[in-house]
A = this chain, B = another copy of it.
Amino acid sequence: MELLAVSLRAYYADFTEAAAAENLTASQGKTLSVLRQGPAAMRVLARTLSCDASNITGIIDRLEKRGLVHREPSPTDRRVKNVVLTPEGERAVDAIRANMHATMAGLDALDDAERATLHDLLSRTFEAAAVTA
């Protein structure tokens, strides 16, 4: 339990730091992480990141201005815009993840399998902050 508490504290701080190293805020890093799993509509992002849809507009605006994502119209519903990660966006996510893996590697008390389990738990907890019950 103590190890987990320490790990969690370190994880949150390190994610923010790893994102900052890429000149990204935690919210931006989190958004890019979500998009790494595939394109998502604005509305879906809002639900996943559990914030109002109007916030996503601003967050995506800033990411798009930097060429990390781009909007493309949905072929099936002309109201919907899908947000897609650009190659630079993928590179940014991977850079953050590489940094996080270095953090995990620092937990000497764990073996590789435990480390993998813990990393999975932490990232799911962090990225899926929404409680959809």
Contacts of A121 in B (CB 8 A): 1, 4-5
**Copies per complex?**
2
Residue of B nearest to A118 (CB): B1
Contacts of A14 in B (CB 8 A): 131
CA of A45 to CA of B57 in the docked complex: distance in angstroms? 34
Contacts of A131 in B (CB 8 A): 9-10, 13-14
Residue of B nearest to A2 (CB): B121
Chain A residues 1-22 with CB under 8 Å of chain B are: 1, 4-5, 8-10, 12-14
Q: For the side of the interface on A, what is the size category?
A: 10 to 19
Chain A residues 36-76 with CB under 8 Å of chain B are: 50
Q: Which residues of A contact B (CB under 8 A)?
A: 1, 4-5, 8-10, 12-14, 50, 117, 121, 124-125, 128-131, 133
